[in-house]
Chain A
Amino acid sequence: MTERLSSKPGRRPALGSLARMALYLLIVVVFATPYLWIVGSTFKSRQDLFDDLYPVSVKTFVPSNPTMENLTGLFSDTNFAQAFLNSVTVAAMSVTFAVTINSMIAFVLAWLKFPGRRLLFLVILATLTIAFEAKLIPLFLTMQQLHIDNTLPSIFLPWITDAFIIFLLRQHFAELPQDLYDAAIIDGCSFFRMYWQVMLPNIVPALVSAAFIKFIFSWDSFIWPSIVITDESKTVITVALAKLFSDEYIKWELVFAGSFVATVPVVVIFIFLQRYYVQGFVRSGLK
């Protein structure tokens, strides 16, 4: 791998590695700058924030008089603390329900041979082909008719059954050895205990992948919460942030602080769970 994708030894190695260095640098600048700007500006006073913009220098990204007043202002003057808490609650519920419910049906699809099994799997996968935007309107009207619009459960309930997660987990269940199944049967294990005590503990990495991907999906969701929630106290972080950004008189320093709160915890978690995130997508995408 190393050999075939790196530059050929011999002629012009210096030029090649110099070009590679420049490319690396460009990529780092493009991908890191927005984060550095968010972090730096979060800890700057409004005045410094604007003063440090023209011209762009180190000062643009590193506060010279660090202050916490944007973060404290964000939590005291806006409903951001509530929105953050709501997002955490919704994500936690969404992940818990989705991993439980989808792993149950994924196990059945992988290990029970019944007529119509393939058809059922297809019916589930077919949901991936239709854009969720196409069902928003009836979904919204249904929530109103059931009188559960404007509640936190209405944010995550519609997205619990998740074909992507079912596909991913079915794949992992199906790859477990037949011997494991047979041995448990001989021990007189019931079908439910087979799922819960025998099989589930063997696919923990895949469960972590599913949980983290669902968490990101939930944390990112914006369209649906902005439709189904009108009550300020039920709002989620993405909607609160967009609202901060659309105010007539935009408080830029609060927008930065809000972006910081919405982003940094997730990115830090990602650094630790990166492997699971990548595996989740790779395994479900290409097999």
Chain B
Amino acid sequence: MTVLFSNSRNAQRYRAAFFLSLPALIGLFLFHYWPIADTVRLSFTDYKVFTGEFTFTGLKNYDLALKDPLLLLSLKNTAVFFLIKVPLQMALGLMLAMLVAKPGRDSTLLRTLVLFPAVTSMVVASIVWGMMFHSDIGIVNSLLESLGLPQQGFLRDKHQALPVLAAITIWKDVGLSMIFYLAGLLAIPGEYYEAARIDGAGRWQLFRNITLPLLNRTHVFVLVTSTIAAFKIFVPVEVLTDGGPSNATRVIVHYIFHLAFRFNRFSYATALSVILAVLLIAISVFQLRITRDEDDD
């Protein structure tokens, strides 16, 4: 290979490569690494909006965070939301993938339909489901009435609001989980099933001993990505509940957002952003670690 190039050709190649990479690298540092570093810096300061001045205050913001009951509550709500959403979304994603893995027109249509929400904006998904679950003019309560069942508060009920938000986001996101599972399913060699069937394995055994374990990599991928998404829930809360009723849907990103952009508490909000970022990385690492251990068994 190298004989093909003279030194000047090499220099010309590196120069071209430099200019081809430059725009993306500028974006990377200007709009990613620099703001991240700045988030960390701001979290150690007190920012005055009116003067635009920063005063260094050390760990004060983090100290405040430790004593902030609303932070604790929003973390708890976020965790509950994650616990409702992620297992359900994974189970439903796998189930849908198994349904549409069978080739045919039905499967293609079903797959397309389940992916519609993935390309529908979260604002629209929130609004339309918010109206469906509306306690006065919603379709769901109308159906309940027709069936002679009691009307529900849904988003206005402090016990139901968070599960309803989870249902809405599952509806939105399950299509992507489905296609990841579908790709995983199609990669499992058919011979495994035939061999097991010859040995007399039933359908449940095939599922339990072949499908589930061979999808391990897919489980990990879907788990980690959907966990991160669940911890960042924001749009349906902002559009539908604004953290209510009585703080039942106050979640971490919504809390940070409101501290910063409604109450101008930028510095404190950045400290919470840092906490969130560290938490998310820790959770991802933890999930990768435990799933890898399972792999070794």
Report A's interface with B, CB cutoff 8 A.
1-2, 4-6, 8, 20, 23-24, 27-28, 30-35, 37-38, 50, 53-56, 60, 101-102, 104-105, 107-108, 112, 114, 123-124, 127, 129-131, 133-139, 141-142, 157-161, 166, 182, 185-186, 190-192, 195, 216, 219-220, 222-223, 227, 237-238, 241-242, 245-246, 252, 255, 259, 262-263, 266-267, 270-271, 274, 277-278, 281-282, 285-286
Contact = CB atoms under 8 A, between A and B. Distances in A.
Contacts of B98: 5
16 contacts: A23-B99, A101-B23, A104-B21, A131-B276, A133-B256, A134-B276, A135-B36, A161-B28, A191-B16, A219-B121, A227-B261, A245-B239, A267-B119, A271-B112, A278-B115, A285-B183
Contact of B218 (A123, A195, A278, A286): A286
B115 A274 contact: yes
A104 B23 contact: yes
B186 A1 contact: yes
Contact of B119 (A53, A242, A270): A270
B76 interface: no
B62 interface: no
A141 B110 CA distance: 45
> Which secondary structure dominates chain A's binding surface?
helix
Contact of A108 (B17, B129, B256): B17
B102 A6 contact: yes
B31 A161 contact: yes
B16 A1 contact: no
Interface in B151-207: 171, 176, 179-180, 183-186, 190, 193-194, 197, 203, 206
A31 B270 contact: no
A130 B13 CA distance: 33
Interface of B: 1, 4-5, 12-14, 16-17, 20-21, 23-28, 31-36, 38-39, 42, 96, 98-99, 101-104, 106, 110, 112-125, 127-132, 137, 139, 142-143, 145-146, 171, 176, 179-180, 183-186, 190, 193-194, 197, 203, 206, 217-218, 221, 225, 228, 231-232, 234-235, 238-239, 253, 256-257, 260-261, 266, 269-270, 273-274, 276-277, 280-281, 284
Contact of B24 (A101, A158, A219): A101
B110 A130 contact: no
Contacts of A245: 127, 130, 239
B143 A56 contact: yes
Contacts of B261: 227
Given A1-B190, A252-B137, A134 B277 contact: yes
Contact of A192 (B16, B24, B146, B183): B16
For the complex of A and B, 10 pairs with smallest distance between CB atoms:
A161-B27, A138-B38, A135-B35, A191-B16, A105-B24, A158-B31, A104-B20, A138-B35, A134-B277, A220-B121
